[in-house]
Amino acid sequence: MAVNAVLKQRMADLGLTQEELANRMNAALLEITGRPGDVSDRTVRNLVNGTTRRPIGRTRRALEAVFHCPLKDLGFAVPAERSEGPVERRHFITASTALALAPNSGSPRRVGTSDVERLQRRFAEVIANDHRHGGRLAIERTAVVLADEALVLQGSGSAGQRVRKQIYASAAAFRSSAMWAAVDGRRFDDAAAHMQVAVQLAEMAGDPYIKFRIWSHAGTMYRHMGRPADAAAANDVARKLGITRQDPMFASLGLARQGAIHGAAGDGAAARRAFDQSQDAMQRADPAAARPVWMNAFYDQAELDSLALCAYLSLGDFERAEAHGHRCLSALRPHMQRSKAIATTRVARAQLEQGALETAVARAMSVPGEAANRHPRVVGMLRAFGRRLEVIAPGSAAARTWATYIRDTWRSYA
């Protein structure tokens, strides 16, 4: 049994340990096949020590994607070729190009903290764009491209273990943003696919903050899909991470989202208890503590009240919902344009259910046109508002005003 000296040297050229190569191969398989890889340290050890001389199937595809070369150039005996269909071949070529990990010639460059900082700046841009627009397919696609760029960076040169993990964390963060954009845009199948990739990348990174974001988003995704039991289970994964004990602000967010899930499930007592606990945790949190950019960008008192507004609206407690809605709108930061449109629409619905027809219609018509016409979640809520208005007060002056608004301003979505 002879050691595969070629593979060993290629790993040394990239500064890869056996564990790091296994992680890279799993990431490649996730991109190529859409399914998590199961390559272990032992798999790589067998490849290096010569126990495995003819890797086939998923192992072969992962190796060729990671090193960006045919199997024979890695010191292996090449198994008999099989034909591949054009779609499969195109998929593999695209994925292996995106995950190219080594230049064709010369010494690999050093990947360092400046590269990580550049990724983090791009992530901040994605976050800002999401808060302005939300739910756009363009945001989702941009986040996916940036996640792929982060994985390409993994292979563009040598790097220390800390930098490697930070790059995986960046890739997971971008994928979690793609997931959220898909949730916000009501593209739930796409959101679930992004979640699968994000979870595995986060595990490779070992970053509890991005794990919290992914699983917390998953809870929201399932809540919007009408699956409160799955929502609670996913949100519990986030809430059980150690950072919720270290920083009460994360505990507050987990509890607030749990309150919204209880509201969707119709459990008013549990919702009220969760929001009380969330408020208490927020008051105990240190406002100056260091937190990820995505957390600082959105979670505050306004977001807690927004989640309470959603929960109490689901529970039919419209007076309490409206009160939280006004608190939310008064505290929202200027960049939270998507959140403002959603909260405004929900307040209008709470007012409508209390019989304040003219006030409710005026509030609904105040939603900015871009959100009213282009944000899938807001569009759906405004449609539901109009249907409910026709049930409560058919033929009323308020209903006629709304109909005119729909016809003249919102015609393409009526």
Would the pLDDT of 250 be above 80? yes
Q: Would the pLDDT of 414 be above 50?
A: no
Residue indicated by tokens 């591949």: 84
Per the listing, tokens 């282009």 go with 374
Across the strands, what pairs with 110? 158
Interval 93-148: pLDDT, tens:
343 334 333 344 445 567 777 888 888 888 988 888 888 777 788 889 899 989 98
The whole-number pLDDT of residue 93 equals 34
pLDDT at residue 170 is higher than 90 = yes
> What's the confidence (pLDDT) of residue 2?
81
Give the percent of the chain with pLDDT over 90.
Answer: 52
What pLDDT sits at residue 34? 60
Instruction: Reduce the DSSP state of residue 110 to 3 states and report it.
Output: strand
Residue carrying structure tokens 């943003």: 177
pLDDT band at 411 (very low <50, low <70, confident <90, very high): low
Residue 217 has pLDDT above 90, yes or no: yes
Question: Average per-residue pLDDT in the chain?
Answer: 86
Is residue 235 within 8 Å of residue 261, measured between CB atoms? yes
What would the pLDDT profile of 35-89 be if each residue is shown by its tens digit?
667 788 889 999 999 888 888 888 888 888 888 788 888 888 875 544 334 333 3
Token pair belonging to 335: 């960049």
The per-residue pLDDT for 3 is: 87
CA distances from 231 to 9, 227, 347 (A): 47, 6, 24
3-state secondary structure of 112: coil
pTM exceeds 0.85: no
Sequential DSSP letters for 118-136: HHHHHHHHHHHHHHHT-S-
Residue 228, both tokens: 């409160």
Tokens 């109909």 — which residue? 403
Nearest to 20 by CA among 46, 39, 47: 39
Interval 258-276: pLDDT, tens: 999 999 999 999 999 999 9
| Six token digits for residue 407 | 């016809």
Answer for the pair 410, 373: CB distance below 8 angstroms, yes or no: yes
